[in-house]
Structure 1
């Protein structure tokens, strides 16, 4: 974990903290543990926002996970009929209910059985709790660096899927947990409106099993000269107006 954090700081240095996410099966795991925000109605994107922006740990369970899409994606609840049949999206994201149902039925979701979602800055985990996955918010150049790191060992191409909705909970959390592979995703409307995701940000989700190889890929490609920030090719003897150019008799 420390190697990953150090390498990310040295090579990518995102503006906000990497967040550890634990999908807790037994709530006894967090009983008596110091968690900054609990007992509040929060969406999963808001939990991650507290952790990445303020450095706070958060806990939400079936009773307090506020967004039905996120709660269903994380396995806190079974997806209700209004979600699966597309009613929740009809006339908003899709033109009619059949189209909305197709979108909802293809959304990655964990099976019900998660007791609660715990988030915290990866560098300051809740005592005795291990992360299942890591979520970062980055700009497009930093996302490029992560894709290069993911492909360092095996090559090929990196495939990104998005539905424009439930971004961090469906892809950044659920898909990562289901597939044990990293993702890059676009923050959704709720993440922007209620959890402070910025226009330039993308989500990177990484399973814990990929942290060492991601650090390896970042470090190796950095050493090979692929740097962030990307150095501009600055011209020598740039085209200035004549009076702006230093002359031999300038002293």
Structure 2
């Protein structure tokens, strides 16, 4: 983890911390662990926010995960009928129930039930814990650098999918966990309203198995000259009005 974090800091330097996420099957594995926020009714995106902004660890179960979309996506609860039918987003995100149901049917969700979602700053993991995946929030230029890193070894293209809803829980976490592939996603409305996500931010989700190769891709492309921040080409003798231009009479 240290090598990944060092490389990300040197090459991309996101404004907030990388977050480790564990989809915990057995709550007993956390016995004796010191977790900053327990028994708080939070959405998954809020758990991520506490970890990336404040450096706090969080733990939510089916009883405390507040947003049913996030709880269903991450395997905390079985998707209720109002979600599967599209009733939750009908006449909100889609014009009718058919369109709403189609959206929900395409939403990534974990089928296996879990005991809870654990988040923490990747720089300070819980004792003995290795993340299942890592979530970062970045700007557009930084997202470009991650895409370049993802494609460094294999080439091809990077494909994004989005529903405009359930961004970090369904795509940044569930899709990454299901496919074992990295994701870049647009944060949803709830993430912005309740979890302090900024207008310019995008979500990067990376499975644990991709951390080393992502760091290698970032470092190699950085060494090749693809730098962040992107250096502008500042022209000599830029075009200024004559009265603004230093002339011979001024020297």
Give the structure-2-normalised TM-score.
0.98
Alignment of 1:26-65 (within 5 A): 26-65=26-65
Which residue does 1:98 correspond to in 2? 98
Structure 2 gaps of 5+ residues are none
Partner of 1:37, secondary structure, is coil
Which residue does 2:122 correspond to in 1? 122
Structure 1 gaps of 5+ residues are none
Which residue does 2:8 correspond to in 1? 8
Partner of 1:38, secondary structure, is coil
Structure 1, residues 206-237: CA drift from partner, whole Å, max 9, x if none? 00000000000000101111111111111101
Which residue does 2:201 correspond to in 1? 201
Structure 1, residues 46-81: CA drift from partner, whole Å, max 9, x if none? 000000001100000110000000000000010000
Distance (Å, rounded) in 1 between the aligned partners of 2:7 and 2:211: 10
Confirm or deny that 1:185 pairs with 2:196.
Answer: no
Distance (Å, rounded) in 2 between the aligned partners of 1:196 and 1:80: 27
Distance (Å, rounded) in 2 between the aligned partners of 1:40 and 1:177: 24
Distance (Å, rounded) in 2 between the aligned partners of 1:224 and 1:102: 44
Which residue does 1:246 correspond to in 2? 246
Which residue does 1:233 correspond to in 2? 233
User: Structure 1 residues 237-246 or 212-221, which shifts more?
Assistant: 237-246
Which residue does 2:169 correspond to in 1? 169
Partner of 2:240, secondary structure, is coil
On the 8 A contact 1:86/1:101 being kept in 2, the answer is yes
Deviation for aligned residue 1:248: 3.8
Distance (Å, rounded) in 1 between the aligned partners of 2:93 and 2:244: 55
Which residue does 1:71 correspond to in 2? 71
Aligned residues: 251
Structure 1, residues 109-135: CA drift from partner, whole Å, max 9, x if none? 001421000000000001121100000
Partner of 1:29, secondary structure, is helix
Structure 1, residues 164-185: CA drift from partner, whole Å, max 9, x if none? 0000000000000000000000
